[in-house]
Amino acid sequence: MKMKIIILAFCVWSCQAVMENCPCPPLENGFLVPRLEIYEHDVNISYGCDTGWKPALGTRWGEITCRNGTWSHSPQCINSTSCLTPYASHAKPAHRPAAFYPHASLLPFVCDRGYEFDGTDSALCIHATWR
């Protein structure tokens, strides 16, 4: 009896998504940790702000993530006397809200339907605090 050996070779090709890197994001009045020219996909970096400035997120440090060539958001440092958009129950800013408001900004509110103001209808930003 004669025996034959048959060898079969299978080649499998597959494609993988190519994730793009992100360039170093611009940041005025602050610094990135770590600061590199290029960041790989899915990398988180932190940022802080120079004296007299703070992250526009309302936190001490900001964080952004590189997602396929695009940052999760733009890092931004704002003047430390600026206020973030305030929250008021059953009311909203009368105009389209901004991410932040400079010192001495007056922000008028309108009540939700079925509610009325008990006192003033606006808030004043004084040294990073709404009054």
Question: What is the per-residue pLDDT across 85-127, written as a single tens digit (0 to 9) for each?
Answer: 998 899 999 999 999 999 999 999 999 999 999 889 999 999 9
Q: Strand, coil or helix: what is 23?
A: strand
Domains in the chain with CATH codes: 22-79 (2.10.70.10), 83-130 (2.10.70.10)
Instruction: Evaluate the omega torsion of the peptide bond into residue 34 and state whether it is cis, within 30 degrees of 0.
Output: yes
What is 66-88 written as a DSSP string?
A: EETTEESS---EEETT-EEPP--
Give the per-residue pLDDT at 58. Answer: 87
pTM, 2 dp = 0.76
Q: How far is CA 95 from the centre of its chain?
A: 22
11 or 74, which is more confident: 74
| Average confidence score pLDDT of the chain | 92
Q: Is 98 exposed, middle or buried (0-12, 13-18, 19+ CB in 10 A)?
A: middle
Residue bearing the bigger pLDDT, 111 or 1 = 111
The residues, any chain, with a CB within 8 Å of residue 28's CB and separated by 6 or more, are: 77
DSSP for 22-37 reads EEPPP-TTEEEES--S
